[in-house]
Amino acid sequence: MTNTDNGEATFWDHLEVLRWMLIRIIVVWTVLLIVGFAFIPWLFDHVIMAPTSNHFFLYRWLAALSSHFIPVPSDLVKPFHVSVINLKLASQFFLQCELAFWLAMLVSFPYIVFEIWRFICPALYKNEKRGVRFTFVLGTLLFYAGCTVGYGLVFPLTLRFLYTYQLSASISNQLSLESYMDNFLMLTFMMGIIFELPILSWLLSKLGFLHRSFFAKYRRHAIVVLLVVAAFITPSSDPFTLFAVFLPIYLLWELSAVLVKP
């Protein structure tokens, strides 16, 4: 980097650093996109479509729980299989492109965060560096944890309830590829975003807008609101499914209370 006589970088120096940061991010993302495009068929069969059959790990765990006399609704342990059909000629090709895009974004996310951190780090004081580093690291971990909960818990339970729900016995359910993928991506990434709640609370606390007393005062109200949110995310009628979705969201509330200032 070229510096001025007083040792400070000019605006054009910062712009050059930003340009090379963006180039590195684009190169890494492009490589991952190309590799991901070739990897998508295997990923689609073994990961994305896994919740459509009885062999999915969540369904096997629920069956094991029911065999040990733990009250699991019978609808969650019945034989289950979803047949997904394609209605548009080019849907499968464009879906592979879309999934390669999101996979590249998901895998490159920690590297993108690292590059952003490296760019802004020189402008921060020592105490600010600790705060920003904490935000980036915890935010990344929480996002991946949320996506994992969305994929492994929320989406399968929602899929199972809605696919087996019948308004009339004369109507059979058929699931289109577009509908399946829209719900899969929405619920998975929505949970990743919801899991950023502790980071948002911590930032509001740093700005002086939020204190720990808020969580103690409104805990009962929060439980009701979070139950409504859980019911909206997975519109199931049984308490087991509702509680399974509610519990991780409520734990986020309690984690937020720990992170904010007393």
Distance CA 91, CA 86 (A): 7
Distance CA 172, CA 164 (A): 9
Mean pLDDT of the chain: 86
Taking only the tens place, the pLDDT of each residue in 15-74 is 888 889 999 999 999 999 999 999 999 999 999 999 999 889 998 888 888 777 667 777
pTM of the predicted protein model:
0.82
Distance CA 29, CA 5 (A): 37
Per the CB < 8 A criterion, the answer to whether 260 and 212 are in contact is yes
Q: Band of the pLDDT at 124, cuts 50, 70, 90?
A: confident
Distance CA 15, CA 53 (A): 51
Q: Band of the pLDDT at 96, cuts 50, 70, 90?
A: very high
Distance CA 177, CA 163 (A): 13
Q: Band of the pLDDT at 97, cuts 50, 70, 90?
A: very high
Q: What token pair was written down for 240?
A: 């087991």
Q: What token pair was written down for 83?
A: 């047949």
| Residue of 262 and 186 predicted with greater confidence | 186
Asked if residue 150 has pLDDT above 70, the reply is yes
